[in-house]
Amino acid sequence: MTSQDIAVDLTAETQTALERAEAKHRHEALYSDRAHNIKQSAVRDVFDISIRPGLVSLAGGSPSLAKLPVDLVAETAKRVIAEHGMTALHYGGGKGTEELRELICEIMAEEGIVGASSEDVVVTTGSQSAQDIAAKVFCNPGDVVLVEDPTYVGALNTFEAYQVEVEAIGMDAAGLVPEELERRIAELEAEGKTIKLLYTIPSFNNPSGITLAAERRQRVVDICREHNILVLEDNPYGMLRFDGHPLTPLRANNPDDVIYCGSFSKIFSPGVRLGWALVPKHLYRRFYLAAEAVVLCPSSLTQLLVTEFFRVFDWRGYLAGSRAVYAERCAAMLQALAEYFPAEAEWTTPDGGFFVWVTLPEGIDTYPLLYQAIDAGVVFIPGAAFTPSDAPSNKLRLAFSGVAPEQIREGVRRLAPVIRAAVEA
Ligand code: PMP
């Protein structure tokens, strides 16, 4: 290549870059107000870092798939395609298949929602899209959505994209505090705000691991009903209680006031991207029409796969095994924290789910600690990600779900000097 060729090439490159910059500038003006509110999730950022070799990731809340019989999944997928080829590979109905919606009712009955009708279920692309549909159907810009403090970062991103005001309500060790909820609703109403939804993760909250106590559950729904606020109950971890029966979901005794979201991601596989919403009858039509408007229909192939797999597989036995795996991992984390972390740190003791929530003394910001932790070979999610304000936070989320007990121990051991240095600074 001659120097002249290189010069021509460089000119072409510069020309392309200039054209792209000019197009970017023009198109910038086309973004909706909503698009300006769409943020990169801090969890996804850390997720990209956490897959670097050698790092122990206590960041992502990944389910453990180690005991899933992948051969049986593959065999079932092959059979489903052989037997239902045209159906499996075609569009289906917007609500999801009748067979999967019936299976979903069976699953919900296991956790205390007895007698739900498959006619009230919409199959969604994970629980994430059920939240999006709810926001789309109910929220105008400027409306208020109440959430727990802290709450799931993915839900915050969804609500913020709909330009709602997200208000976080305090929790204590027994979950959302009903008096706080009442007080904040009264204040917001006095300011003339319209409150549409309470988004709650009552069992094993992501990120805190805290569970809303049984004796508070009805009170929370009653308060919302009194103020005409719909409850959006997100319960992907409910079946993963380490001991004893799952706590009865809010939806069980309040079929007209609660939209219930469930998911196959934590009990089977996040890759099939299947979840559901159980919707009050009088809201169902708009809800499923909105779902249809986004995806036309959920994946026919994965719906058939999941329906058939759950028919041939002892999923109740598998879930019992999963609960034991997570209980062991949680115990390993709690023990390592007690052993390695300084006395100034406090943490939650979850009864199920994937997460432990650590609180450091006031004034410490856990965000900069993440970079020190990465240097030490471990990742976590800083607490600021889980509040609508993004204000500096002295909390951090540790996930025990996707890592073997000895790695959990090693991760906490690596993190401890970073925490100790911050506490002693
Ligand atoms: N809700 C909560 C509380 C979650 O923790 C998650 C996933 N981490 C989701 C919803 C999204 O799950 P899905 O894969 O079903 O979309």
Instruction: Output the CA angle 142-145-147, nearest 5 degrees.
Output: 145
Question: Could you tell me if the CB of 203 is within 6 A of ligand 1?
Answer: no
The 3-state DSSP class for residue 95 equals: coil
* Whether pLDDT at 180 is above 90: yes
- pLDDT at site 8: 64
Question: Could you tell me if the CB of 125 is within 6 A of ligand 1?
Answer: no
Binned at pLDDT 50, 70 and 90, residue 288 comes out as very high
pLDDT in tens, 291-345: 999 999 999 999 999 999 999 999 999 999 999 999 999 999 999 999 999 999 9
The 3-state DSSP class for residue 279 equals: coil
Tell me the average pLDDT across 250-272: 97
* Whether pLDDT at 215 is above 70: yes
Binned at pLDDT 50, 70 and 90, residue 348 comes out as very high
Torsion 219-221-224-228 (CA) sign = negative
Mean pLDDT of the chain: 94
DSSP 112-166: T-TT--GGGEEEESHHHHHHHHHHHHH--TT-EEEEEES--HHHHHHHHHTTPEE
- The fraction of the chain above a pLDDT of 70, given in percent, is 96
- pLDDT at site 11: 77
Structure tokens at 272: 């099939």
* Whether pLDDT at 42 is above 90: no
- pLDDT at site 379: 95
How far apart CA 101 and CA 279 sit, in angstroms, is: 12
Using the mean position of ligand 1's atoms as its centre, give its distance from the Cα of residue 164 in Å. 20
DSSP 298-321: --HHHHHHHHHHHHHS-HHHHHHH
How far apart CA 359 and CA 19 sit, in angstroms, is: 49
Indicate the range of 25-39, 112-126, 306-320 predicted with least confidence: 25-39
Using the mean position of ligand 1's atoms as its centre, give its distance from the Cα of residue 147 in Å. 15
Its ipTM equals 0.99
Q: Give the closest residue to 146 by CA, choosing from 95, 72, 98, 201.
A: 201
How far apart CA 197 and CA 143 sit, in angstroms, is: 9
pLDDT in tens, 380-403: 999 999 999 878 999 999 999 999
Using the mean position of ligand 1's atoms as its centre, give its distance from the Cα of residue 418 in Å. 29
- pLDDT at site 90: 95
Question: Could you tell me if the CB of 402 is within 6 A of ligand 1?
Answer: no
- pLDDT at site 48: 72
- pLDDT at site 19: 86
Question: Could you tell me if the CB of 154 is within 6 A of ligand 1?
Answer: yes
- pLDDT at site 423: 95
Question: Could you tell me if the CB of 298 is within 6 A of ligand 1?
Answer: no
Question: Could you tell me if the CB of 61 is within 6 A of ligand 1?
Answer: yes
Question: Could you tell me if the CB of 126 is within 6 A of ligand 1?
Answer: yes
Indicate the range of 25-34, 144-153, 323-332 predicted with least confidence: 25-34
Using the mean position of ligand 1's atoms as its centre, give its distance from the Cα of residue 251 in Å. 18
- pLDDT at site 37: 78
How far apart CA 309 and CA 94 sit, in angstroms, is: 22
Indicate the range of 48-52, 87-91, 188-192 predicted with least confidence: 48-52
Using the mean position of ligand 1's atoms as its centre, give its distance from the Cα of residue 206 in Å. 9
Using the mean position of ligand 1's atoms as its centre, give its distance from the Cα of residue 236 in Å. 6
